[in-house]
Amino acid sequence: MEITTRKQGEASIVAIVGKLDSVTAPKAQQTLEEVVSGGARKLAVDFSKLDYISSAGLRVLLGIAKKLKATGGALRTFGLNETVREVFDISGFSTILAAFPSEAEALNGL
């Protein structure tokens, strides 16, 4: 798994490449926590190159989303492929986390 971060206006974009599972979740959590601790309140997670997400990865996203919401921020996702979208739908996460087709749509109104 590879993670990159960048700023786009007031939002922070975190791109996750590869698999987000029980092995890689701690690294993802650490990176996302660092972004939020650094002052980010608007966070968009790019899943356009994410091949797979497990329940461990979903827990990381949920924890970060809760932290952001508590401080008036928000987390959005975009670029979910069919496999990742299916995991979101089956787990009910598609009703918990906002998922958008593109970065521009995710950032619109964030």
Task: Give the single-character DSSP code of 24.
Answer: T
Terminal Cα distance for the chain, rounded: 26
pLDDT of residue 64: 97
Structural contact between residues 45 and 75, judged by C-beta atoms closer than 8 angstroms: yes
Q: Where are the domains of the chain?
A: 2-107
Q: What's the pTM?
A: 0.94
Beta bridge partners of 42: 74
| Residue range 7-29, pLDDT digits in tens | 999 999 999 999 999 999 999 99
Q: What is the CATH number of domain 2-107?
A: 3.30.750.24
pLDDT of residue 109: 81
Q: What distance in Å separates the CA atoms of residue 21 and residue 53, rounded to the nearest whole number?
A: 6
